């Protein structure tokens, strides 16, 4: 299965006939011989392969970073792909200069990835904050420098750029003028537009073996298969991406990415801390790709979005050849990596009741490394409370059973109770009867049991600091 692809890579137009499931990393390194993009892990965990994807949006191009090892080349069609080579102008860019000045590179293997990520930050944000600039490199790992000099480089380039480009209308041109980007970037929107006219989206793929959403699970688990079989990209369906409010419900399309969740006005209105919680999900380039549908269907017991949605008592909406149906998300999981999903069904969207005024929500995740790591245990809680009494509660727990778990008994027990330390302790004891953790690389079963207890404590200490105190619990 080969498809014709047309896109712009750096300053060149690329026309190719390739298998769309080939990773962009391999295409760049082997076909285009752009070797500045490195392979460090092929599983989205090192960032050495980071590139930018530019998508035409009206007259502008929006850029975001991705891991090219998990990105199917088929998805590059009609877009602007920027590799490290595409950032090289006649002089070093501001970011490159800052790295040189701070000695923010040793062996150099990780360096192109870091430079691309940081440049991507300035491209996709109009106001620059030093901390955000640093965090834009949360998907890049450097084994040599210890990152201190890289942090210094990010500070330096942020300062340089902030003073240079306040008060501007055209972001890209301002960045070109201040030495972040080569000149050719200003012509990209026009070139993408004519590209689109010349080459319409490629033909419909029949009987796909794989539906790829963000690919962040599929490419980690079986990238070799993606090269051999018919694949179809779900991202081409834009409707699936929307997040909206409807009759007191929130509706999230299956291909909404974690970044979309973070940027959603509706969600941040109802869940002011969600942005903070979701920073614990993967890294920026992973969040830019990872979808809600993929998180659910991958059915990992520690899936974070699923964990949150279960506590919001969400419903999944499916479409298949025999029509549409819906069910509660917590009932969707049948056993380890098995779902109540027919072969021909896709997840359309999820919906949940928007939180009431008297409601509380919290998400807890503990992993070996705080960021860019899979949880040892995660847990979410949703509560409605009137006069100190719990009216409704839903608690989820991940990493303690073969499926993303809804803590049925624990939630049930808490209903009608007045919040205090004793009740919370009792709830934690009940939670232990609902779980069946196993020992693996993410911890022993004893640890996971203990951790869940602690996270239940943490929910209440965080949400009701006046009523449940650390001293009474530990």
Partner 1 sequence: MKNYDIERHVTGESQFVDDVITPEGMLHAYVFYSEKAHAEILNIDLSNAEKVKGVKAIFTSKDIPGENQIGGIIPDEVLLAESKVEYIGQPVAIVIAEDQLTAKEAASKIKVKYKKLPVITNPREAFKAGQMIAPQRTFNLGDPDNSWNSCKYIVEGTVESGGQEHLYLETQGAFAYPVEGGGIKIVSSTQSPTAVQRVTARILNLPMHKVEVDVLRLGGGFGGKEDQATPWAAMAGLASFKLNKPVKLILPRQEDMIMTGKRHPYSSDFKIGINKEGKIICYEVTFYQNAGAAADLSTAILERTLFHCTNSYYIPNVKATAVSCKTNLPPNTAFRGFGGPQGMFVIESAIFKAAEKMGLDPSEIQKKNLLNEDDQFPYGQKTENCHSGITWKNAEEKYSINTIRDEVKKFNAENNIFKKGVSFMPICFGISFTNTSMNQASALVHVYTDGSISVSTAAVEMGQGINEKIRQVVSKVFSVNIDRVKTETTNTTRIANTSPTAASTGADLNGKATERACQHILRQLKEIAAEILNASSITHVEVIDEVVHCDGNKSNLKWEELIKRAHLKRFNLSSHAFYATPGVYFDQEKEKGNPFAYHVYGTAIIEATVDCLRGTYKIDSVKAIHDFGKSFNPLIDKGQAEGAIVQGLGWMTIEEVIYDENGKLLTDALSTYKVPDIHFTPDIQVDFLKNSDNLKGIFKSKAIGEPPFMYGIGGYFAIMNALKAFRPDADLPISAPFTPEKVLMNLYSKVEEKQPA
Ligand X SMILES: Cc1cc2nc3c(=O)[nH]c(=O)nc-3n(C[C@H](O)[C@H](O)[C@H](O)COP(=O)(O)OP(=O)(O)OC[C@H]3O[C@@H](n4cnc5c(N)ncnc54)[C@H](O)[C@@H]3O)c2cc1C
Site residues for ligand FES, 150-169, by CB under 6 A, read none
Rule CB under 8 A: which of 407-436 touch partner 1? 429
Distance in Å, CB of 306 to partner 1, minimum: 18
Q: Between 45 and 74, how does the x/- string for binding to ligand FES read (CB under 6 A)?
A: xxxxx-----------------x-x-----
Distance in Å, CB of 305 to ligand X, minimum: 6
Using CB under 8 A, which of the segments 73-81, 106-114, 182-190, 405-413 binds partner 1?
A: 106-114
Per DSSP, 67 falls in state E
Rule CB under 8 A: which of 72-91 touch partner 1? 83-85, 87-88
Instruction: List the single partner that 151 binds among ligand X, partner 1, ligand FES, none, CB under 5 to 8 Å by kind.
Output: partner 1
Using CB under 8 A, which of the segments 201-209, 257-265, 387-395, 444-452 binds partner 1?
A: 444-452
Phi, psi of 253, deg, nearest 5:
-65, 150
Which tokens is 237 given?
């369906």
Rule CB under 8 A: which of 112-151 touch partner 1? 112, 115, 134-135, 137-138, 140-151
Cα distances (angstroms) measured from residue 282 to each of 154, 216, 388, 458:
21, 10, 36, 22
Rule CB under 8 A: which of 200-229 touch partner 1? 220, 224, 227
Q: Is 263 left (phi over 0), alpha (psi -120 to 50) or beta?
A: alpha
Instruction: List the single partner that 304 binds among ligand FES, ligand X, partner 1, none, CB under 5 to 8 Å by kind.
Output: ligand X
Distance in Å, CB of 109 to ligand FES, minimum: 5
Q: Which is nearer to partner 1, 239 or 441 (CB)?
A: 441
Choose which of 57, 358, 436, 444 interacts with partner 1 (CB under 8 A).
444
Q: From CA 269, how far away is CA 347, in angstroms rounded?
A: 25
- The answer to whether residue 440 forms part of the interface with partner 1 (CB under 8 A) is yes
Q: From CA 11, how far away is CA 16, in angstroms rounded?
A: 16
H/E stretch holding 15: strand 12-18
- The answer to whether residue 144 forms part of the interface with ligand FES (CB under 6 A) is yes
CA nearest neighbour of 242 among 254, 230, 227, 224: 254
Rule CB under 8 A: which of 255-284 touch partner 1? none
Choose which of 3, 32, 35, 40 interacts with ligand FES (CB under 6 A).
40
Distance in Å, CB of 66 to ligand X, minimum: 11
Distance in Å, CB of 108 to ligand FES, minimum: 6
Q: Which is nearer to partner 1, 314 or 458 (CB)?
A: 458
Q: Which is nearer to ligand FES, 64 or 317 (CB)?
A: 64
Looking at the chain, the number of H-run helices and the number of E-run strands are 18, 18
H/E stretch holding 26: helix 24-26
Q: Is 157 helix (H, G, I), strand (E, B) or coil?
A: helix
H/E stretch holding 172: helix 171-177
Tell me the H-state helices in 211-264.
218-226, 258-263
Q: Which is nearer to partner 1, 256 or 400 (CB)?
A: 400
Q: Between 30 and 69, how does the x/- string for binding to partner 1 read (CB under 8 A)?
A: ----xxxxxxxxxx-xx-x---------------------
CA nearest neighbour of 1 among 239, 222, 208, 261: 208
| Site size with partner 1, rule: CB under 8 A | 83
User: Which residues, including other chains, have CB under 8 Å from residue 280's CB and lie 6 or more apart?
Assistant: 304, 365, 367, 370, 371
- The answer to whether residue 100 forms part of the interface with ligand FES (CB under 6 A) is no
Instruction: List the single partner that 172 binds among ligand X, ligand FES, partner 1, none, CB under 5 to 8 Å by kind.
Output: none
Q: Which is nearer to ligand FES, 111 or 157 (CB)?
A: 111
- The answer to whether residue 474 forms part of the interface with partner 1 (CB under 8 A) is yes
- The answer to whether residue 161 forms part of the interface with partner 1 (CB under 8 A) is no
Let me know: does 112 contact 36? Beta carbons within 8 Å. Answer: yes
Axis-axis angle for helices 94-102, 111-124 (nearest 10): 140
Tell me the H-state helices in 62-147.
94-102, 111-124, 130-135
Query: What burial class does residue 297 get, using C-beta atoms within 10 Å of its C-beta: 0-12 exposed, 13-18 middle, 19+ buried?
Result: buried
Distance in Å, CB of 426 to ligand FES, minimum: 44
User: Which residues, including other chains, have CB under 8 Å from residue 437's CB and lie 6 or more apart?
Assistant: 377, 399, 400, 401, 445, 448, 449, 452
CA nearest neighbour of 292 among 260, 330, 254, 328: 254
- Tell me the longest C-alpha to C-alpha distance in the chain: 69
Binding positions for ligand X, rule: CB under 6 A: 43-45, 210-218, 220, 234, 254, 281-282, 286, 289-291, 293-295, 297-298, 303-305, 346-347, 374
Q: Which is nearer to ligand X, 278 or 473 (CB)?
A: 278
Choose which of 81, 142, 309, 427 interacts with ligand FES (CB under 6 A).
142
Instruction: List the single partner that 216 binds among partner 1, ligand FES, ligand X, none, CB under 5 to 8 Å by kind.
Output: ligand X
Give the footprint of ligand FES on this chain (CB under 6 A): 39-42, 44-49, 67, 69, 105-111, 142-145
């Amino acid at each position: 299965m080969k498809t014709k692809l047309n896109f712009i890579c750096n300053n060149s137009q690329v026309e190719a006939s390739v298998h769309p499931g080939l990773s962009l990393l391999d295409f760049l390194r082997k076909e285009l011989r752009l070797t500045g993009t490195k392979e460090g892990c092929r599983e989205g965990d090192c960032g050495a392969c980071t590139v930018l994807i530019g998508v035409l949006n009206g007259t502008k191009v929006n850029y975001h970073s991705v891991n090219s090892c998990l990105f199917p080349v088929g998805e590059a069609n009609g877009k602007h792909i920027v590799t490290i080579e595409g950032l090289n102008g006649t002089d070093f860019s501001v970011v490159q200069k800052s790295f040189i000045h701070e000695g923010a590179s040793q062996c150099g293997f990780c360096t192109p990835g870091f430079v691309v990520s940081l440049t991507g930050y300035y491209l996709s944000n109009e106001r620059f904050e030093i901390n955000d600039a640093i965090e834009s490199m949360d998907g890049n790992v450097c084994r040599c420098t210890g990152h201190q000099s890289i942090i210094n480089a990010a500070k330096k380039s942020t300062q340089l750029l902030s003073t240079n480009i306040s008060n501007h209308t055209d972001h890209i041109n301002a960045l070109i003028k201040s030495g972040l980007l080569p000149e050719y970037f200003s012509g990209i929107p026009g070139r993408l537009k004519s590209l689109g006219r010349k080459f319409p989206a490629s033909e419909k793929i029949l009987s796909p073996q794989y539906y790829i959403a963000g690919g962040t699970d599929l490419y980690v688990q079986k990238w070799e298969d993606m090269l051999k079989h018919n694949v179809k990209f779900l991202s081409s369906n834009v409707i699936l991406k929307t997040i909206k409010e409807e009759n007191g419900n929130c509706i999230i399309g299956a291909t909404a990415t974690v970044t979309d969740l973070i940027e959603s006005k509706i969600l941040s209105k109802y869940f002011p801390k969600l942005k903070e919680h979701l920073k614990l999900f993967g890294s920026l380039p992973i969040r830019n790709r990872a979808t809600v549908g993929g998180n659910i269907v991958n059915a990992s017991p520690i899936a974070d979005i699923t964990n949150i949605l279960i506590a919001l008592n969400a419903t999944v909406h499916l479409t298949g050849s025999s029509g549409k149906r819906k069910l509660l998300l917590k009932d969707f999981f049948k056993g380890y990596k098995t779902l109540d999903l027919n072969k021909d069904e896709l997840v359309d969207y999820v919906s949940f009741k928007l939180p009431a005024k008297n409601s509380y929500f919290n998400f807890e995740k503990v992993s070996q490394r705080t960021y860019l790591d899979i949880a040892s245990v995660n847990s979410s809680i949703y509560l409605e409370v009137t006069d100190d009494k719990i009216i409704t509660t839903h608690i989820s727990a991940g990493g303690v059973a073969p499926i993303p778990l809804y803590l049925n008994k624990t939630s049930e027990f808490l209903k009608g109770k007045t919040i205090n330390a004793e009740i919370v302790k009792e709830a934690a004891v009940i939670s232990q009867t609902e779980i069946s953790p196993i020992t693996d690389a993410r911890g022993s079963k004893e640890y996971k049991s203990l951790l869940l207890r602690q996270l239940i404590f943490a929910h209440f200490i965080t949400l009701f600091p006046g009523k449940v105190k650390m001293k009474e619990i530990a």
